[in-house]
Structure 1
């Protein structure tokens, strides 16, 4: 068989990297549940008409069809793989509204698919972790402050294993829209899309884009770019906005909401959440607060955690379900940790003990020892062959397994720490490895 060529954009992690990924997922689950979020899971496919109705994502959707289908059903209702978890969750809420208690807090950790050009941190298939709060008809604004603070707690815990600190940048789409209308630009979407690209193409190019797509004159361009430069981790940023001399009711509403969020964050996680008025987010379904999160010292990676408020994405007739959500790109975060050697995993397997086999006639004894250790919560494997003990020890060493168990008979046992060479008598019914060796140890590199 010829060696298959890898498919770019579809990551497949090595065992030690999967241990790190699982640790991140477990930290997310534990933190989300501590804050009252319930787990849900949604299907991988949605009608393309649903996926493509908001934002500039339609060109990146993977279509799904049967190779030998009749064609007519697929043609009438073409399906696509979901590119995020917010759109399918909104559909899930509408379909299950009668069974949910609102406000409904959910978390969801699943793969998503996006047909974009692969590069570091950007994949065609990747794992994402979302938290959302959805209301029935209304949703209190305090949830817009709660969600980024939950993610800040996640990263505080992950910093214990070497994940860099974060900076959560926040803005409000109402502030941006009100500002645009206040300076005479009534076609708001081109303004938002232009400002959202300022880090990629620079202020001069954004100014030209504002002129081309939004019809902005020189003064309007100047004001938009001046707004985009405003940032701050305390409420004083609002004074800089007012100093620009623009007025509009929607601007006032957005500025008030953003100021309240920053005030809350300043109390609970000072310095982590920052007002950054160039942030707009590309998806059109956002209507209020928006978030982007950067790893400090690794800003070139782009946002690892983003989201915002949406008021009309989930609706049925006259009934609407406003929500606010944040998505963390697990695969994007993991690739930076792995490719830049920021984190070390002590072993590539969960196994803490390898039971040696003196000869094949004693394999039953070795299996019984392993069963006893496993029953006590100690991850244990049995040597695959009755090779010389030196070879069995090397087998354990290559995998990072710290202990090898030897048994002459049912009553004579010894366990060896192959790192130090210390070997002691042991009883499988009572011996326990040190807590640090029970699971693979994940620490900051270097």
Structure 2
């Protein structure tokens, strides 16, 4: 068989990198559950018609069909199936299907793969892992949940071995009200164009607003003034004055500004050496289902990756015609964040295997003795493996060393036992019924490099 060619945009992890990812996921799960979020998993596919209603995403959706299927779409009741591009749309469908069995407000977390047909590059992949949290209620959702989403995710990120983060806040009502105050008709189109500002620059955004959306020069100038405003969380009142000083008036603008100021004030105490919280009116989010607060998060020193953690409020995404289920959520791009850090060596694991100790084999006739030692250690939660061969002890030690395993266990001819720390060379008597490695050696440790990003 010829050597396979890697598929661009579908990252696969080596064992040491997988150790890092697993510890990140364990930490995220623990933090989300600490705040009372329940874990769920949804199916990988949704009807294409559902996915295509949710924003400028149609060119990135992967459709799913059987090799010899006809064009009737029979597997979806006449609707083509497609892989989900985020976890919010599937979650909205999940809420509608299970509303009678859920308790509201419903708090969920979900850690799952998603798929987008994007052009692969650092921080952007075709298959990637996301970790989402959402709160959904019936008919109305209390505004304090907008603050809670930010606080929970900042706590979750602060527990990870990541560089600092900047949480950027905005409000879609504010943006829409501002554009309507300028006389803009197609607000959604303007939002999608302005959301590209940090990717394509002001000149290109201005061109698209004129040529593609049909705005005049005064409207374009106004649309480009708004994203220039930002403020730290400690100056919410001054920020509101600067927005009003732009001279645009609309009731929806005032409603969104009041909501944004409240969220900004509610997150002010999150600021620390590793966390910054700002209002940033360049944040729009390209998906149409957001209706209020929106979030984006930048990794300090890695701003070129774009937002690693984003989301917002959606008041009408889930509705069965008689009841609406408004929600607010935020999503952390696990793969988007970890893959570049792993590739650059900014995150590493102390070893590539979970094993803390290798039990040496004196000779094959006595392998059962080594197996018994391993069983005793495993019974007390010590990750243990038995040497694959009864080679000379030096070779068995090298086997452990190549894998970063810190200890080798030696059964003695007199029935006793000794364990060796192969890093220091110290070898001491040990009892398989009581010996445990130091806490820092029991499991692989994730380390963050001190180097600045290159």
Normalization by structure 2: what TM-score?
0.95
Q: Secondary structure at the match of 1:440?
A: coil
Deviations along 1:344-377, whole A, 9 cap, x unmatched?
A: 2110001000000010111111111001000111
CA contact (8 A) 2:168 2:278 kept: yes
Deviation at 1:74, TM superposition (A): 4.4
CA contact (8 A) 2:358 2:407 kept: yes
Match of 1:121 in 2: 123
1:356 and 2:360 are equivalent in the alignment: yes
Match of 1:435 in 2: 439
Q: Secondary structure at the match of 1:109?
A: strand
Deviations along 1:295-333, whole A, 9 cap, x unmatched?
A: 011100111111111111111012110011111111011
Distance in 2 (alpha carbons) for counterparts of 1:410 and 1:375:
24
Distance in 2 (alpha carbons) for counterparts of 1:218 and 1:231:
23
Match of 1:276 in 2: 280
CA contact (8 A) 2:17 2:348 kept: no
Distance in 1 (alpha carbons) for counterparts of 2:188 and 2:431:
70
CA contact (8 A) 1:152 1:272 kept: no
Q: Secondary structure at the match of 2:209?
A: helix
Normalization by structure 1: what TM-score?
0.97
Match of 2:350 in 1: 346
Match of 1:237 in 2: 239
289, 292, 296: which one aligns with 2:293: 289
1:179 and 2:178 are equivalent in the alignment: yes
Distance in 2 (alpha carbons) for counterparts of 1:388 and 1:215:
79
Distance in 2 (alpha carbons) for counterparts of 1:146 and 1:319:
24
CA contact (8 A) 1:185 1:214 kept: no
CA contact (8 A) 1:9 1:125 kept: yes
Distance in 1 (alpha carbons) for counterparts of 2:270 and 2:345:
31
Deviations along 1:5-38, whole A, 9 cap, x unmatched?
A: 1111111100000000001101110110111110
Match of 1:63 in 2: 63
1:202 and 2:206 are equivalent in the alignment: no
Distance in 2 (alpha carbons) for counterparts of 1:205 and 1:375:
63
Deviation at 1:58, TM superposition (A): 1.5
- Which runs of 5 or more residues in structure 1 are unaligned? none
1:7-406 equivalences under 5 Å are 7-69=7-69, 72=72, 73-74=74-75, 76-158=78-160, 161=161, 163-234=162-233, 235=236, 236-269=238-271, 272-406=276-410
CA contact (8 A) 2:270 2:277 kept: no
Distance in 2 (alpha carbons) for counterparts of 1:134 and 1:292:
20
Deviation at 1:216, TM superposition (A): 2.3
Q: Secondary structure at the match of 1:324?
A: strand
CA contact (8 A) 1:182 1:246 kept: yes
CA contact (8 A) 2:308 2:332 kept: yes
Deviation at 1:168, TM superposition (A): 1.0
Deviations along 1:181-234, whole A, 9 cap, x unmatched?
A: 111112211211121111111112222222223332222222221111000123
Distance in 1 (alpha carbons) for counterparts of 2:189 and 2:79:
31
Distance in 1 (alpha carbons) for counterparts of 2:195 and 2:111:
27
Deviation at 1:170, TM superposition (A): 1.2
Q: Secondary structure at the match of 1:315?
A: coil
Aligned residues: 443
Q: Secondary structure at the match of 1:391?
A: helix
Distance in 1 (alpha carbons) for counterparts of 2:276 and 2:151:
9
Higher mean alpha-carbon deviation, 75-84 vs 91-100, is at 75-84
CA contact (8 A) 1:188 1:214 kept: no
Distance in 2 (alpha carbons) for counterparts of 1:25 and 1:295:
18
Deviation at 1:272, TM superposition (A): 2.2
